[in-house]
Chain A
Amino acid sequence: MIRSRNLLLGGLLCLIVVAGALVSFLWTPYDITVLDIPNKLQTPSLQHPFGTDHFGRDILSMIMIGARTSLAVAIVAVGIGMGIGVPLGLWAASNKGGWIDEIIMRGNDLVFAFPSLVIAILITAVMGASALNAIIAIGIFNIPVFARLTRSGALSLWEREFILAARVAGKSKARISFEHILPNVGNLLIVQGTIQFSLGILAEAGLSYVGLGAQPPIPSWGRMLADAQTMVSFAPHLAMVPGLAIITAVLGLNLMGDGLRDLLDPRIRVVRQ
């Protein structure tokens, strides 16, 4: 009962965020590319439900388009992590104890050993600040998460009888990995993917906050917070609204992740870092 409530509430919160992002492609209350400086820093009102920012832009419109940025960066980053991490994990598991397994797992440890935020900052220092580089920086650190998870999930499967049967039938390791192992670690990946997605949103917000994410005029929640920082003492809504937007998205995804786990397989353990 409680479990489905998690899924329901999480799904609802995610729906709000996704709907905001999708609607913004077609319509926003105001055009945010036009600045209206005489009307800057207005408090929430009927015209502007969340008020206006320091350039007189409508904050609701900014949040809607910002949702697009956050979701896009996080989705692509998780996609990179899965796309590279899962095959690596499968490969390692199929060569358990061999030198390929050893190299992949040590490589994972090595990536894990790097302080992620510092590396993200370095990457943007080398390649310049942009949404794309934020994606790469976040994506790299998703690779070992999925590689490890897939490997550990796959290892136990390799002992199972239906895999042994497939081996006896002469199927190659790679074919078994993709045909039999992958579908069976799917649940695991969906649950962890949801969690990584929420972490990706937090990471994007952090990077944008220090000025290393999407560049203006593309709005991003983290940069809105950074812009609001010096005005928080006289216009607190500038900081509250983007902060709550981040919380809504992350909370929604986490609840959904927990709900999905309970639905799919309660024994799954997620990793949070």
Chain B
Amino acid sequence: MLRYSLKRLLSLIVSLAIASVVIFLVIEVAPGDPASFMLGINAQPDTVAALRAELGLDVSKTQRYLSWVGGMLQGDFGTSYTYRTPVTQMIADRVWVSLPLALYALTLSTLIAFPAGIYAASRRGKPGDITVMGATQLGIAVPNFWFAMLLVLVFAINLRWFSAGGFPGWDEGFFVALKALTLPAIALALPQSAILARVMRSSLLDILSEDFMRTARAKGLSRRQALWRHGLRNALVPVLTIMGLQFSFLLAGGIIIEQVFFLPGLGRLIFQAISARDLIVVESVVMLLVFSVILVNFLVDLAYAAVDPRLRSRT
């Protein structure tokens, strides 16, 4: 196990190193210069040069890469070119919008998907199952930004139950902030819940055909009782795997939804930073997202390996 862990750890470090090079190269190649962008069309060339020097953009790319990576190893992501505040601070502020939003969406999608999936599985082949499955097909097909537009039209503009967007901050009170995240969370949750419900259903159906479930039925338990007592726990493994994948998707995938609801989250930060060519912010946020996914994968692999020793030899 130790040898396996070390091997995986090494591969994690190599992955991160490659990722940092790829991210840096892709972003540095992008045409456009942060200093020119900030100074606009009347700026004189010497002014732009002065600003580039002030921002530390006049050193070589290699040097910039090394200082970026060196800083990150110490938890310092550098200073934003446009905002002139520490990137770490900016990310910390934005995470407090994106992370709760992702959690909220995941909670909603679970609350919808679990009952729907269980219900469909318990009514396999009957009208109830067909209806739920039809609804999930539709849910998967709806683009979430389009759904978000409709939510704004109905609930913010026509009914005025929710504000159309923006985020008042957690200082304004938990429920005020939660309310502001409600429409975006619903828009994000809908397609995810449809996928999750399908996974839940098929995973339950697999379990139902297993021997121990047949035994349970033979002992006189009804199909539903057997499902609740024995099936659900066993069916959760694939469901949780999908939920893990979805969470990292939600964290980064909210980018368009954050745009529609003008939420000051990580996604919108990336958008702004790309258009302002605030390279260091883009690099750092992307790196952080990649890191979180790689780390989650690493932990999941370790957990699986701990449960099932056969896996250790596989990779």
Contact = CB atoms under 8 A, between A and B. Distances in A.
Interface of A: 2, 97, 102, 105-106, 109-110, 112-115, 117-119, 121-123, 125-126, 198, 202, 205-206, 209-210, 225, 229, 232-233, 236, 239, 243, 246-247, 250-251, 254-255, 258, 269, 272-273
B159 to A, nearest CB: 13
Given A122-B274, A236-B153, A117 B256 contact: yes
Interface stretch (B105-113, B136-144, B175-183): B136-144
Given A225-B143, A273-B249, 13 more contacts: A2-B130, A121-B274, A126-B30, A198-B141, A210-B256, A233-B157, A236-B153, A239-B150, A243-B143, A243-B149, A243-B150, A254-B141, A258-B137
5 contacts: A121-B274, A126-B26, A243-B143, A250-B141, A254-B141
Given A117-B252, A121-B274, A125-B274, A251 B149 contact: no
B149 A225 contact: yes
A125 B19 CA distance: 18
Contact of A110 (B15, B125, B130, B251): B15
A250 B143 CA distance: 9
Interface stretch (B56-64, B89-97, B224-232, B290-298): B290-298
Interface residues of B, number: 47
Contacts of A97: 314
B293 A112 contact: yes
B145 interface: yes
The 9 closest A-B pairs by CB, nearest first: A115-B252, A250-B141, A251-B141, A113-B293, A243-B146, A126-B30, A247-B141, A113-B294, A125-B30
Q: Is the interface of B mostly helix, strand, loop or mixed?
A: helix
A206 B187 CA distance: 14
Nearest to B238: A269
B137 A254 contact: yes
A251 B138 contact: yes
Contacts of A121: 255, 270-271, 274
A250 to B, nearest CB: 4
B44 interface: no
Contacts of A258: 137
A110 B270 contact: no
A206 B145 contact: yes
A269 B206 CA distance: 12
Contacts of B239: none
Contacts of B143: 202, 205-206, 209, 225, 243, 246-247
A105 B315 contact: yes
A102 B315 contact: yes
